[in-house]
Amino acid sequence: MDMLNNRTYDELALGDKAQVTHRVTERDLTLFAAVSGDVNPVHLDEAFAATTPFKGRIAHGMFSGALISAAIACELPGPGSIYIGQEMSFLRPVRLDDEIRVELEVLEKLAKNRVRIATRVFNQDGKQVVDGVATVMAPTEKTSMPRPSLPSVSIQD
């Protein structure tokens, strides 16, 4: 079984890195719209999106933000992390079927168990789509646990 392991504040060092990848699917856009309430047709309606500067549907910007949050919570520093803040710039659109890679890098250790982490997202062509920096309270106790399974969700119209 896949495990979730954290790195405590004391274990973290400048330059520590982690990455996760995710292929953006129709299901992702539908579920994100349902959860967030963001039903902007640029995300959900191909005919409308074709008339925009993007010439097609794009993922919600904050979908990338959610993947960054998941990478922090599950990879670096991992379970027990508390997300305090995020600066984020959207550089390019993320499209359906893009294989995006979230890269995290510890930039700075601060007082009170806080760390600043670079949060960069790239598409399958290696082009950066998001650039940012997160402030996170790192855990102080070591944790290892089985990775929970995602719940089964059906999409209803």
Q: Model confidence over 43-65: pLDDT tens digits?
A: 999 999 999 999 999 999 999 99
Retrieve residue 98's tokens: 């893009």
Provide the whole-model pTM.
0.94
CATH number reported for the structural domain that contains residue 34 in this entry: 3.10.129.10
In a domain, 149, yes or no: no
In a domain, 88, yes or no: yes
In a domain, 70, yes or no: yes
In a domain, 157, yes or no: no
Domain that holds residue 71: 16-139
Q: Please provide the distance, in angstroms rounded to a whole number, between the alpha carbons at the two ends of the chain.
A: 34
In a domain, 145, yes or no: no
Predicted confidence (pLDDT) at residue 155 exceeds the cutoff of 80: no
User: Which residues have CB under 8 Å from 113's CB, separation 6+?
Assistant: 9, 137, 138, 139, 140
Residue pair 120/133 in contact (Cβ under 8 Å)? The answer is no
pLDDT-derived band at 143, boundaries 50, 70, 90? very high
Q: What is the tally of structural domains in the chain?
A: 1
In a domain, 82, yes or no: yes
In a domain, 7, yes or no: no
Give the pLDDT confidence of 80-128 residue by residue, as tens digits.
Answer: 999 999 999 999 999 999 999 999 999 999 999 999 999 999 999 999 9
d(CA 115, CA 133): 10
